[in-house]
Amino acid sequence: MNNRLIWCMPFLIAISTAPAAIAQTDPAQPKPEYSSPLLESNLVDSNSPPLGRPLEKAPIQPARIVLSQHAGKKFIFLSAGVYTAVILDMHQTLAVRSSPWWYETDPLAKPFVRLPAPAYYATGLALATGVNWLSWKMSHSRRWHKLAPIPQVLSITGNLYGYHTNRFQSQ
């Protein structure tokens, strides 16, 4: 099968299904009125004041996650580690990619390795920025904040492994 078709398929699916997506809208019905069975019972005199106030919808305010200073320092430290590992791996790959014995085994990196050096560095740093952004968004989530360092740690590990294997193959 053609590689371009494989890489373009997710984009084609996203473009073809985007017009079919329906956004959430307010219902066209009027606002429902809430009543209490106690107020409508025969025990309450119609001339007496109501026993309770009618139910109202209270606006929901999202809870903000406040990062501790320790979490912010950890994020900055891991971000620096991601960029350092990416640059080390890219620099070592560029140093050995012209050798006749060298080939890229990572299927995700294979399309980017043959780019010119500035484009290769730009795509690698863009990917590192994306990993850091994902980790930042996860750290501000109520559900995922405990798992926020995982994308950064996996990126550092993968890039250091790539740097390690290229370094020892070049000797």
DSSP string, 9-76: HHHHHHHHHGGG-------SSPPPPP--TTTTSTTS-TTSPPSSPPP-PPPPPPPPPPPPHHHHHHHH
- Per the CB < 8 A criterion, the answer to whether 151 and 138 are in contact is yes
Buried b / exposed e across 5-36, counting CB within 10 Å, b at 16+? Answer: eeeeeeeeeeeeeeeeeeeeeeeeeeeeeeee
Q: Which amino acid is at 48?
A: S
Q: In degrees, to the nearest 5, what angle opens at C-alpha 105 toward C-alphas 103 and 106?
A: 130
- Could you give the dihedral angle defined by the CA atoms of residues 155, 156, 162 and 168, in that order, rounded to the nearest 10 degrees? -170
For position 33, what pLDDT does the model report? 61
- Per the CB < 8 A criterion, the answer to whether 138 and 148 are in contact is yes
**Beta carbons within 8 Å of 86's beta carbon, 6+ residues apart:** 124, 125, 127, 128, 155, 159
**Tens place of pLDDT for every residue, the chain, 171 residues?**
566 666 777 766 767 666 655 555 555 666 656 555 554 555 555 565 555 566 667 777 766 666 666 778 899 999 999 999 999 999 999 988 888 888 888 888 888 988 999 999 999 999 999 999 999 999 988 888 889 999 999 999 999 998 988 876 655
| pTM for this prediction | 0.59
Token pair belonging to 19: 């017009």
- Per the CB < 8 A criterion, the answer to whether 76 and 92 are in contact is no
Token pair belonging to 62: 């999202």
Number of Cβ within a 10 Å radius of residue 90: 24
